[in-house]
């Protein structure tokens, strides 16, 4: 069930209330919408002015059911299901035609969505009808129904939740003048209705800003968020719509789009408007940001609350994480210190071993700087000479065999002689 508010040109507040929330309006013999003793499924009209010393609102004297027995006097129209977004036509800027008309999108049940033109005392058919078709056949055939048909209804293959819009009365988009522009929340369609002044019928066209072949449905949807929540109108009569990227009331963010027709714009300087001041009941008090004692106290209390939450909830977890990282770092340091020391020796070994190749003899000669030999374990030069004499016969394996020699050092630099020999034989077995 939804609820919407709107002030009319008559100064009264209009309230649009859904039928109660359960599918098919199963309440009572005729449902809430057809029952004028309840406010559900109705359009209400109340007067909220001059209520400082009395009731929160009063009933306008020309409400259609005022004085009718067992009827709520607030009711302006009834027989609606779930009206989502209504608007009032501000009228043609030149002639004033259409001024004061009220348009509403009424969300359907299973098959149809509809757009209604609300009039005083009107019955819009729900639950007897949904759109132009019968929903409850027994009520639909009742001759006393006397319902008002919608100006337009569309099936659920086009969309499943209508979002009511506005009649365009702006200046910047001349081609849109007089169009009722609305949309569908679920399908993302932008639609319009154009009234034939001679017959009173409304012709449907889909909004397409550009050439047909480039923006034919649903391609236009790709350029804006799909789920159209609402429409809006500024003081100049220009239209906007609000949309989100997810079909949920909990969507974190949305976008406001302005409806623009690129095919034709008003001449520069033609459209100008001077905003009118907003009338207020109380005295206007200008706001000047200033930090006072209360503000400081509030900030201090907020800081204290944050500190307490941090100390109770966050700090122990933070300390556990820090301790875990410290232990891991200490373990890695112990493990890596020996490996690091070894790689220093290996790089130093590469720097003090000079290998050069003679084209004629194919001989490799190794020159060791004697002053550095003492830092390497005994027997290392012996192993190097064995590898150089056995494996360095083919010039294509020079780099590969040197890697094998250095790999052997991994297992010999920090081990006793007998263990060195053991690992050397294993490496020779797998590398040969």
The CATH number given to whatever domain includes residue 246 is 2.120.10.30
Query: Of 258, 281, 308, which marks where a domain is finished?
Result: 258
Least confident of 67-71, 121-125, 346-350, 400-404: 400-404
Rounded Cα distance, 73 and 65, in Å: 6
pLDDT level of residue 415 (50, 70, 90 thresholds): very low
Instruction: Evaluate whether residue 301 is within a structural domain.
Output: no
Rounded Cα distance, 159 and 180, in Å: 17
Average pLDDT over every residue of 34-47:
95
Instruction: Evaluate whether residue 315 is within a structural domain.
Output: no
- Domain check: are 90 and 230 in the same one? yes
pLDDT level of residue 338 (50, 70, 90 thresholds): low
- Domain check: are 113 and 208 in the same one? yes
Least confident of 81-95, 153-167, 322-336, 349-363: 349-363
- Domain check: are 249 and 359 in the same one? no
Question: How big is the CA angle at 376 (ends 374 and 380), to the nearest 5 degrees?
Answer: 115
Q: What digits encode the pLDDT tens for the residues 46-77?
A: 999 978 778 899 999 999 999 999 999 999 99
pLDDT level of residue 373 (50, 70, 90 thresholds): very low
Residue 164: pLDDT over 90:
yes
Q: What is the DSSP string of 26-91?
A: -STTT-STT-TTSSTTEEEEEB-SS-SSS-S-B--TT-TTTT-TT--TTEEEE--S-EEEEEE---
- Domain check: are 236 and 348 in the same one? no
- Domain check: are 105 and 200 in the same one? yes
Instruction: Evaluate whether residue 97 is within a structural domain.
Output: yes
Residue 323: per-residue pLDDT: 81
Query: Of 230, 258, 286, which marks where a domain is finished?
Result: 258
Q: What digits encode the pLDDT tens for the residues 202-253?
A: 999 888 654 444 455 554 555 788 899 999 999 999 999 999 989 887 888 8
Residue 237: per-residue pLDDT: 94
Instruction: Evaluate whether residue 266 is within a structural domain.
Output: no
CB-based contacts of 368, cutoff 8 Å, min separation 6: 352, 353, 381
- Domain check: are 388 and 248 in the same one? no
Rounded Cα distance, 257 and 223, in Å: 11
Residue 24: per-residue pLDDT: 87
- Domain check: are 191 and 335 in the same one? no
Range of the domain at 54: 3-258
Are 178 and 168 a contacting pair, CB within 8 Å?
Answer: yes
First to last CA, the chain: 82
- Domain check: are 204 and 347 in the same one? no
- Domain check: are 332 and 242 in the same one? no
The model's pTM: 0.63
Long-range CB pairs of 369-378, under 8 A, 24+ apart, other chains included: 372/348, 375/345, 375/348, 376/345, 376/349, 376/413, 377/412, 377/413, 377/420, 378/417
Tokens for 89?
Answer: 């036509």
Least confident of 93-102, 369-378, 415-424: 369-378
Residue 346: pLDDT over 70:
no
- Domain check: are 218 and 110 in the same one? yes
Residue 305: per-residue pLDDT: 56
Instruction: Evaluate whether residue 304 is within a structural domain.
Output: no
- Domain check: are 120 and 225 in the same one? yes
Instruction: Evaluate whether residue 269 is within a structural domain.
Output: no
Residue 125: pLDDT over 90:
yes
Query: Of 258, 282, 307, which marks where a domain is finished?
Result: 258
Residue located via tokens 């000079």 = 354
Q: How many domains does the chain have?
A: 2
Instruction: Evaluate whether residue 276 is within a structural domain.
Output: no
- Domain check: are 198 and 71 in the same one? yes
Instruction: Evaluate whether residue 156 is within a structural domain.
Output: yes
Q: What digits encode the pLDDT tens for the residues 246-276?
A: 988 788 889 999 998 878 889 988 898 887 8
Residue 234: per-residue pLDDT: 93
């Amino acid at each position: 069930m939804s609820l919407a508010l709107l002030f009319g040109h008559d100064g009264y507040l209009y309230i649009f209330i859904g039928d109660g929330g359960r599918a098919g309006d199963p309440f009572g013999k005729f449902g809430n919408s057809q029952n004028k003793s309840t406010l559900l499924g109705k359009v209400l009209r109340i007067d909220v002015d001059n209520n400082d010393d009395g009731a929160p609102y009063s009933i306008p004297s020309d409400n259609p059911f005022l004085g009718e027995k067992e009827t709520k006097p607030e009711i302006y129209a009834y027989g609606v299901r779930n009206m989502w977004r209504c608007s009032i036509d501000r009228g043609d800027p030149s002639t004033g035609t259409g001024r004061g008309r009220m348009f509403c999108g009424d969300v359907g049940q299973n098959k149809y969505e509809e757009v209604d033109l609300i009039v005083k005392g009107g019955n819009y058919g729900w639950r007897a009808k949904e759109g132009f078709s019968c929903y409850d056949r027994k009520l639909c055939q009742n001759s006393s129904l006397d319902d008002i048909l919608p100006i337009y209804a569309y099936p659920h293959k086009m969309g499943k939740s209508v979002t009511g819009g506005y009649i365009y009365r702006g200046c910047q988009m001349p081609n849109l003048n007089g169009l009722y522009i609305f949309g569908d929340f679920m399908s993302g369609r932008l639609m319009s209705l154009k009234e034939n002044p001679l017959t009173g019928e409304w012709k449907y066209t889909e909004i397409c800003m550009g050439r047909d072949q480039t923006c034919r449905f649903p391609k236009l949807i790709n350029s804006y968020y799909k789920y159209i929540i609402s429409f809006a109108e500024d003081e100049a009569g220009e239209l906007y719509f609000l949309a989100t990227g997810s079909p949920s009331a909990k969507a974190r963010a949305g976008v406001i789009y302005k409806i623009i027709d690129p095919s034709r714009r008003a001449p520069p300087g033609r459209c100008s408007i001077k905003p009118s001041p907003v009338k207020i009941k109380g005295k206007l008090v200008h706001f000047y940001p200033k930090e006072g004692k209360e503000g400081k106290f509030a900030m201090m209390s907020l800081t204290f609350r944050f500190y307490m939450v941090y100390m109770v909830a966050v700090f122990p977890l933070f300390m556990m994480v820090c301790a875990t990282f410290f232990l891991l770092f200490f373990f890695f340091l112990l493990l890596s210190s020996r490996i690091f020391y070894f790689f220093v020796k290996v790089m130093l070994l590469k720097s003090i071993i000079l290998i050069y190749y003679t084209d004629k003899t194919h001989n490799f000669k190794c020159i060791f700087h004697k002053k550095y030999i003492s830092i390497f374990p005994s027997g290392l030069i012996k192993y190097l000479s064995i590898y150089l004499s056995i494996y360095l016969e083919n010039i294509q394996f020079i780099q590969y065999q040197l890697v094998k020699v250095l790999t052997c050092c991994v297992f010999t630099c920090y081990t006793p002689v007998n263990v060195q020999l053991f690992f050397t034989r294993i490496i020779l077995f797998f590398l040969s």
